[in-house]
Structure 1
């Protein structure tokens, strides 16, 4: 049997009477009314759910418990510019029962006002949509202009992975943090909760588990399938995963200029219609692989992100398990950057428990996403003129050659 015939056999064996695959299918198809309503796919529906949970007067009968736990979690994070004087103890010992929760006030996803606490929390919720630099500045100015006497203002940038906010006045949280808060509340209050309310919130936590890749049963099952059918799965991914988006068509055209490793070379590199994650070959040869799950197999990665009218190129450091090593890496890059190629936030330079830190982000306008030639032209302009991709990457490689992060065969 030659190599091609053997692959055919392994793929057929993978899909035929595969008990593990049938279990996975059953797991994925478990009944969840929120999945039926596609809550997992739309930011507006996540925001509706979160607004309901945060409102003390709503019929979940949890009073201000969710709101207070969320505020306390936010205050555990560092921020460059504070617009409040609150301590966590202030929140836990106060009542927020008077809090009013508004949806889409002046296009702000969620606005929470507690007059008794002289307090405003407002949330920009990003699940799948692109980054919103200009929106964050606009929203905080709106709040300050319309509520000039409010003493405590907490702006929150909520994303799928807890990305750092591209604005010094915003805290950041991930949907995984929301999941942890809700799981804690359900565990502690199950015996006292209305059964229908408990089930409804539990359906939502299951949605978040899948969305944030924290469903332990699903993860265990997928790992077991991959262990037994690795070759067949990698062949299916290599030849079966395609994207017809203009972003990825443009990236394919420029692959030789990028000289990079993306999804087709390494399935652990993320690919979607709106994002293309990749590592330059020169950088890949210097970096160990990550232990913690990320959209890249390496701790430093580039990715293109397609937004409504813009194309963005981002260079980011991911979740290195050793916090001291991650902290040392960020400070090393920051201290050896005479040309200001990197823009690392001061808060990231202090933290040893960081997960996602942006090193550089640049963008260009895109007038017509349906025109591949136009997208290629804008991508080249972004790479060469705006981001200065070759210059940045050459310098980054030279720095990492003198920093002991590990070899490509190591895991960190």
Structure 2
């Protein structure tokens, strides 16, 4: 009976040898792409920059308002007739050459403004993140106040055309963008070769990394269906980038004589400056096994890996003393001035590695990004916090029942 190792080897061999779909995928992915080289793959700001460039009739691409007209017409055709303040016929017949496209106006990703026809379109672009804090409603209210009496339209642009929280916005998928962009590549548009090359690379980027309904996406699905076991084996042995980063952070903490490593795990690293490692601050319970209440913690969520300062469980009078001092200090920014049941955040989270960093950087670049953040944090930010809190630490009381 064959061993598991021999069976796994046969599975991997079948995946790698005489696999025409894999060869086609490698062919599609093997071509140089300038956007990938620039690290733009899932950076929303850079996607918005390039889309704003193409949509703006005043830019140097030589397209005039042709891409803007094409894009808006396709958006109208893909939406309900009442969702936008104009029809496909309007957009086709109008001269939109005087349209202004603004980037990050009042935090709106793209704002399309046409004074001749008095319409304004707010575009919120999301790749790899979601909405937060009712932002679509807030953006609509801001735009409608600024352009009172104008016709308003909102576009919520996501890879799969997700539904927006505000009904004044219509969902738009990146597939629509990709198909509009591809018309500029097919040779019929009168644009320079330099612009055509940039647009072709952007079209390629969308098909490789963003659009779910492309030849590349379909090849990936077929390959996975037919070679699921081989790919599962590969993923089982894939380096965990979050774990690698957390291990590196733990090693930086452990090598630093000015820091105390409290706990290190795949999902977090907790540590404190030696100045904060006092008996009075080791009265906690139910969180850290060391009893430390005041700890920095690295953690990961949709933003990537970040670091925050936590005040954990412990005697109420001790926690109140520390929280009040943080509230009164300009160096700290507590999430609340009142004690929470277990944890209070004394500083907003600071991102060490973004989601895009974890997705795109190789291991060497990832380590360098962490090291760069750590050097700045350790030499600039942390000494200020230690100095600002020193008097507080020295006067921290002991909890009830302490002997």
Q: TM-score scaled to structure 1, two decimals?
A: 0.54
The 8 Å contact of residues 44 and 127 in structure 2, kept in 1 or not, is answered as yes
Instruction: Assess, with a 3 A threshold, how the Cα gap between structure 1 residues 108 and 13 changes in structure 2: closer, same or farther.
Output: same
Q: Which protein has the larger Cα radius of gyration, Structure 1 or Structure 2?
A: 2
Q: State the partner residue of 1:28.
A: 29
Q: Does 1:64 align with 2:65?
A: yes
Structural mapping, 1:7-406, within 5 Å? 7-10=7-10, 13=13, 24-25=25-26, 27-78=28-79, 84=85, 86-132=86-132, 134-150=134-150, 152-187=151-186, 189-190=188-189, 192-210=190-208, 211-216=210-215, 218-219=216-217, 222=220, 225-226=223-224, 229-238=227-236, 240=238, 244=242
Q: State the partner residue of 1:288.
A: none
Any idea what the Cα deviations from partners look like across 1:271-296, whole Å, max 9, x if unmatched? xx757xxxxxxxxxxxxxxxxxxxxx
- Identify which range, 220-229 or 129-138, moves more after superposition: 220-229
Q: Which secondary structure state, in structure 1, belongs to the residue aligned with residue 111 of structure 2?
A: strand
Instruction: Assess, with a 3 A threshold, how the Cα gap between structure 1 residues 57 and 220 changes in structure 2: closer, same or farther.
Output: same
**Larger RCO of the pair (alpha carbons < 8 Å, separation 6+):** 1
Instruction: Assess, with a 3 A threshold, how the Cα gap between structure 1 residues 227 and 197 changes in structure 2: closer, same or farther.
Output: same
Any idea what the Cα deviations from partners look like across 1:310-331, whole Å, max 9, x if unmatched? xxxxxxxxxxxxxxxxxxxxxx
The 8 Å contact of residues 83 and 170 in structure 2, kept in 1 or not, is answered as no
Q: Distance in 1 between matches of 2:55 and 2:213?
A: 23
Q: Distance in 2 between matches of 1:207 and 1:12?
A: 28
Instruction: Assess, with a 3 A threshold, how the Cα gap between structure 1 residues 137 and 224 changes in structure 2: closer, same or farther.
Output: closer
Instruction: Assess, with a 3 A threshold, how the Cα gap between structure 1 residues 171 and 24 changes in structure 2: closer, same or farther.
Output: closer
Q: TM-score scaled to structure 2, two decimals?
A: 0.55
Q: State the partner residue of 1:355.
A: none
Unaligned ranges ≥5, structure 1: 251-272, 276-304, 309-364, 371-412
The 8 Å contact of residues 15 and 230 in structure 2, kept in 1 or not, is answered as no
Instruction: Assess, with a 3 A threshold, how the Cα gap between structure 1 residues 5 and 243 changes in structure 2: closer, same or farther.
Output: same
Q: Distance in 2 between matches of 1:97 and 1:223?
A: 42
Q: Which secondary structure state, in structure 1, belongs to the residue aligned with residue 153 of structure 2?
A: strand
The 8 Å contact of residues 76 and 84 in structure 2, kept in 1 or not, is answered as no
1:140 CA displacement: 0.4
The 8 Å contact of residues 54 and 64 in structure 1, kept in 2 or not, is answered as yes
The 8 Å contact of residues 42 and 127 in structure 1, kept in 2 or not, is answered as yes
CA RMSD of aligned residues (A): 3.7
